Structure 1
């Protein structure tokens, strides 16, 4: 009886002991269970004959739930069956008029609209990889992106006709067939395609058409955002697309969820997570042309949205909208994305309610990713033994001044300790391949790192600086190149930006390093946008940064902008700002310089600029 009492007491106390000594035990266990289930599902799908692709999952859903709404767009609803038939019409029209064969790349130049999804499905049914062109690019950038994928067919939206006409002579010289999703076009060399689609049958295409497609075949080309130059076309093969089916599922999305997709479909977040992820779960997509902070929650309420996506600065934009009494009146339970700062994360939850935030880390071309399944604010993931075994990675020490990994006397990289910032590198294996960039061998090789932990090994260089704390949580620190070195110390731009945005008057901050002749490293500079009705106060700003930052990390120059420039995927633009530097002759925005003696930021002018260049004014 005594032993029974002890046993009973032990069992009763076990949950309490686990919670005290291992607070994340159950969350780790549930994540591990889900991870294994997803892995088993993936392996079983890989073994199916004939080969099972992401397209086949959509076809399964259209048979299982033909009448379930798949796309809701501007008050029009398309069921899974509607979408299947519409894509059949486009595929049949293309097969008849274009002469496309399996493996022929096609460029898709289209914004967020149902036709984007219909056309991608149609081309997948024909076995053709699709290059997603950013509908914001023009002229040289558009031609560059088009040429990356070696396509001979371009399908464009009607509203992008003028952009196509700008590059038409070059496209015609290459013998490119151009189809415009419109009913009328008077420009020679551009063929209208809407009538051909309407007149085409919606009969299914034989599976044999794509019999030559393998898991290694390119499925789509997704372009990097081009924050550091012209965009690069990352190759996403059929195996990667099959893997992407699990993304929403692994983050807690369920069948029947309503997913709000307002991020660009041409980008990884909109396509792989929003679209491909929804296909796996059989969800309904609420598709919007572009993100609108003012319409966001009204849309969520109107369509009973349960899952939202964010990237970059989106959550901050939502927090900056005027407060309403119905801010918490919605059905959103899950927010999935990356790039949210810790203070914005807290503000978002306090204002909009108890929403599960699934911050994750991944890149379009990368071969490793992390999910913060615990909801710990600020983290992008958590170290997991099985995950690390299957997808080996390491954080290695990095010299930000030389912009290269630190190596020991034997030539191997040095691993960063816990709590220390390091460059994320992930081993290139059959399980975790790196496919590189289309027609850009030089950039592909630059992302490969050899002799990392052992002689002869090969790793993918993420270009991201991360940190693992003593509780095994992973935190994003900065991008390589964004972190700079000044006065012999490393300065993380994200940390400085976070400090600046703590000020009530500052709307947004973009921090970067600029070079000064005669000085080693780069000195800090910040482009900031003030909140409406607020004016820049040099003394107050100095006092603030001096309270939070060491002297070497305080931005020496501040540039006031009406708004901070971001890419189409809400990443801050820095290249142009770095090039313009702090020369008042080239910068039309108000410029300020930190003055230690005055304990203030004072107006920058040509005389001060010349004094810095001559070395008279010391920094």
Structure 2
């Protein structure tokens, strides 16, 4: 190799330049440059933020004529991120286009007062205040723009404000559906468990400093970090080549990172990673539940094809999370930081943002590259290795990373499935184990389980009502205060205390407080049967709310008034024993020596429910063991956990509300959302706002929701499960079609005994399913409805019913079972003990149980017993049928099987429709008469009332009365000529 003088001099000059520039970098952290930040003024300074207004004084005499952009930085990145490229950055480009640019600067928690104590709500409320300031100063709605978590803040704040003051939202790499796009392909089940642990046990002790943030981001892409540093060192001799990118390099290397307050990081992990509430709704801001379904303004989301942090699938979740907004996307070949800084941002991102703003302000559009965001994108996986090669020009190293990513994705999918299955088993096993450990002397009760939750996670959200969120600690404190009030007025353990309240937090608190004392809560429905119900149950003291005060006082019982909210006003009756518990100061009550919190044993009576109406009123007794059985059984069958929000449509005085809704949520650690009443419009709002994943129902309750058309077919929603009892087959089918992919989990819980059935799979519509693990062993014995006796074999033992034979359901008695209602012994072996239920079932060849009837409602027709449930389910599956009820109708000395049906609005029902439907039943099981009525009354629990229908109909000829012609096996209109052969 030849060395000339020029080459030696050039090498020496290059070496000297490298040394000189290197020394400058060592001394000052970087190279000196002439690039200056865009000018700005601090328009507002508050504890949580400083509000920058860039290029103050611009706009001439008409500053209010300019569109307004308000930028929000992520918490770990400096607010200078929007001005890194100076004239080629966000504020420079938009300012030159005539847009008024403002930036929210949250500052560094290391230097701000109380910075390390900030939580997520603090930042959202601060941004909301900044929006108000900008709107007031400019007189215009703002175009709210956020990068990464700043975009999440933009979504959250706009939803919290219900869109007030926001013209549009623009986000850059801001994830919404965390489940769909976990960074680096990690399985969500594993990540959610880890993040939950970190949020609870690490972030509340360890602050995240700016140095930790910088290192973490660099480790997210070590290849790109190493390549950038090598490129810098290789060009260190060429100052002119480095200066244009020097400011961006220093931003990424050192200046651009700020610390992250632990509470804010914990909120982020718990709400948006562990529970994915950006997608589901129900995240909490300032004590209020919020959902992105509130968003209605236009949205533009920038998607980075090679973004490993805000993955495309996660970013595109906004189109499903905000179904009421017009959502657009701009797809760029860029990484997470490249969306807002660097050449791609200067050439593509900010010009598109500029054009978007002017389009929203009434200009022509949409901009080139901006398209409506599709709900589903084919593939949806990470960018291909080739895309990464072209983008980073990293050659073999980047191709290797792409291949590794492909293998990682395949492995991740396999791991994700195993983690999810393992997680479900991990939740179920402790519950089943705990059920198996319950003995008669075991202390278990509603109050005890609530106390456990409060100790374990006091600040976790528990109760949602009227757009407010209450934590476990707040609810537990309220329970303790009510306990003191009840004790001060003489309530003692084992006392039967009535509870007549509308669905509200105070009702739940009252029931839990009685449980904590060890008293028995007698749950009663408001209405005309109240005096009789009090007499049957032996309750002489009643806890009620202001709405039911007068009706309860009229019964002559002692009345304790609880709840009613801040604006309560009591309409006290002139006479009667009425005490306002809210006026009792808990601090002034001295607890007696006998008080021990949550003393209830498994064998002891915990609740009394009243079923039926009028003459058929009957008390039903629920022990602590029976309640725990349903609670843990529900939580297991429904796989309820802390990520679920259970919407309680069923009232607490119904077994579905007490045992399934309240019990399952408490046992599963889920949030409970209480509904004041069945209001379809409010239901539609609260499902999104609360992030409801599980809805409880009773009987025909879902009919009102479906008929209101609050959720059109295909409309996005967070619900995964409907759980309850008594839903007819047709209504079940309509529910799953309307709310797909949600499914229905139908429960059956015997009033006496501990039998619990659940149709977990949901594949057989109408079936009650199979026994829930951990509950009583169930058997089906042959039964004669005419004599109300169990059929025995030659040895005198009960004969087990064959497949598809109708039999009596019985449950095996255990040591913890309440035997006060009567027990059957020696059914299958000498000395064995079984409790009969009130219901008849058949069991198919797969082992699934199908309800046939109650023992006391079987129709004793001359041709043999006719079972009402198959008739009801068959009729309900006819599209035109709204509600139906089957009953025995005495006519001319004989008993006929009759049904009454009402017709859905806009539909028509003909006799031939009933004929076709009834072909599914054996001819002997088909009803003799069909009455078409305008409406079928329902009880307070939405159960169609056979007694009410029977009292208002007459079997007279007419177009609305049809009879079954057994000769032709068809239903015909009852005429004068057909009366005699039909009715006798």
Once the two structures are superposed, residues 365-395 of structure 1 have per-residue CA deviations (whole angstroms, 9 ceiling, x without a partner) of: 33211223333323322368x76xx733321
User: How many Å apart are 1:158 and its aligned residue?
Assistant: 0.9
Alignment of 1:480-519 (within 5 A): 480-486=855-861, 488-519=863-894
Alignment of 1:75-114 (within 5 A): 75-96=467-488, 98-114=489-505
User: How many Å apart are 1:112 and its aligned residue?
Assistant: 0.3
Is 1:461 the counterpart of 2:849? The answer is no
**Other-structure match for 1:357:** 744
Match of 2:629 among 229, 238, 243: 243
1:278 aligns to what SS in structure 2?
helix
User: How many Å apart are 1:52 and its aligned residue?
Assistant: 5.0
Residues 353 and 535 of structure 1, relative CA distance in 2, 3 Å threshold? closer
Once the two structures are superposed, residues 54-84 of structure 1 have per-residue CA deviations (whole angstroms, 9 ceiling, x without a partner) of: 3222112223322222221112322212212
Once the two structures are superposed, residues 508-540 of structure 1 have per-residue CA deviations (whole angstroms, 9 ceiling, x without a partner) of: 221222233454xx32211110121445534x3
2:802 aligns to what SS in structure 1?
coil
**Other-structure match for 1:13:** none
- In 2, distance between residues paired with 1:75 and 1:82? 16
Match of 2:900 among 520, 527, 530: 527
Alignment check: 8 A CA contact 1:244 1:272 kept:
yes
- In 2, distance between residues paired with 1:495 and 1:383? 21
**Other-structure match for 1:398:** 783
1:167 aligns to what SS in structure 2?
coil
Alignment check: 8 A CA contact 2:610 2:619 kept:
yes
Match of 1:115 among 487, 500, 506: 506
2:522 aligns to what SS in structure 1?
strand
**Other-structure match for 2:802:** 417
User: How many Å apart are 1:325 and its aligned residue?
Assistant: 4.4
Alignment of 1:315-354 (within 5 A): 315-322=702-709, 324-325=711-712, 327-354=714-741
- In 1, distance between residues paired with 2:845 and 2:423? 21
User: How many Å apart are 1:362 and its aligned residue?
Assistant: 0.9
Alignment check: 8 A CA contact 1:362 1:370 kept:
yes
User: Which range moved further: 486-495 or 544-553?
Assistant: 544-553
- Root-mean-square deviation over aligned CA pairs: 3.6
- In 1, distance between residues paired with 2:675 and 2:462? 14
Is 1:73 the counterpart of 2:465? The answer is yes
User: How many Å apart are 1:119 and its aligned residue?
Assistant: 1.6
2:688 aligns to what SS in structure 1?
helix
User: Which range moved further: 262-271 or 552-561?
Assistant: 552-561
- In 1, distance between residues paired with 2:692 and 2:784? 45
- In 2, distance between residues paired with 1:450 and 1:515? 36
User: Which range moved further: 563-572 or 206-215?
Assistant: 206-215
Superposition TM-score, scaled by structure 1 size: 0.79
User: How many Å apart are 1:333 and its aligned residue?
Assistant: 1.6
Alignment check: 8 A CA contact 2:723 2:746 kept:
yes
Alignment check: 8 A CA contact 1:593 1:604 kept:
no
Alignment of 1:212-251 (within 5 A): 213-224=600-611, 226=612, 229-251=615-637
Once the two structures are superposed, residues 140-169 of structure 1 have per-residue CA deviations (whole angstroms, 9 ceiling, x without a partner) of: x3122213333342222111123124322x
Once the two structures are superposed, residues 332-380 of structure 1 have per-residue CA deviations (whole angstroms, 9 ceiling, x without a partner) of: 1222222334444343223211124322221343321122333332332
Residues 546 and 203 of structure 1, relative CA distance in 2, 3 Å threshold? closer
Match of 1:479 among 838, 854, 861: 854
- In 2, distance between residues paired with 1:145 and 1:207? 33
Alignment of 1:24-423 (within 5 A): 37-42=430-435, 51-96=443-488, 98-135=489-526, 137-138=527-528, 141-168=529-556, 171=557, 176=558, 178-179=560-561, 183-184=569-570, 185-197=572-584, 199-201=585-587, 209-210=595-596, 213-224=600-611, 226=612, 229-251=615-637, 252-322=639-709, 324-325=711-712, 327-378=714-765, 379-382=767-770, 391-423=776-808
**Other-structure match for 1:601:** 972
Residues 30 and 463 of structure 1, relative CA distance in 2, 3 Å threshold? farther
Once the two structures are superposed, residues 81-131 of structure 1 have per-residue CA deviations (whole angstroms, 9 ceiling, x without a partner) of: 2212222222222222x1222222211111101111122222223222211
2:836 aligns to what SS in structure 1?
strand
- In 2, distance between residues paired with 1:146 and 1:163? 12
Alignment check: 8 A CA contact 2:515 2:600 kept:
no
**Other-structure match for 1:16:** none
**Other-structure match for 1:22:** none
User: How many Å apart are 1:299 and its aligned residue?
Assistant: 2.0
Structure holding more helix per residue: 2
Match of 1:573 among 945, 950, 953: 945
User: How many Å apart are 1:451 and its aligned residue?
Assistant: 4.5
**Other-structure match for 1:426:** 811
User: How many Å apart are 1:295 and its aligned residue?
Assistant: 3.6
Alignment check: 8 A CA contact 2:609 2:620 kept:
yes
1:209 aligns to what SS in structure 2?
coil
Alignment check: 8 A CA contact 1:183 1:194 kept:
no
User: How many Å apart are 1:304 and its aligned residue?
Assistant: 0.8
**Other-structure match for 2:928:** 556
Superposition TM-score, scaled by structure 2 size: 0.51
Task: Indicate the structure whose relative CO is greater, using CA pairs within 8 Å and at least 6 residues apart.
Answer: 1
User: How many Å apart are 1:34 and its aligned residue?
Assistant: 6.8
Once the two structures are superposed, residues 370-428 of structure 1 have per-residue CA deviations (whole angstroms, 9 ceiling, x without a partner) of: 223333323322368x76xx733321122233333333455433211123222111232
- In 1, distance between residues paired with 2:684 and 2:870? 30
Unaligned runs of 5+ in 1: 1-26, 437-443
Residues 85 and 204 of structure 1, relative CA distance in 2, 3 Å threshold? farther
Aligned residues, how many?
Answer: 556
Unaligned runs of 5+ in 2: 1-419
User: How many Å apart are 1:577 and its aligned residue?
Assistant: 3.9
Residues 205 and 119 of structure 1, relative CA distance in 2, 3 Å threshold? farther
- In 2, distance between residues paired with 1:28 and 1:490? 45
- In 2, distance between residues paired with 1:508 and 1:527? 8
2:741 aligns to what SS in structure 1?
coil
Alignment check: 8 A CA contact 2:897 2:927 kept:
yes
Alignment check: 8 A CA contact 2:694 2:719 kept:
yes
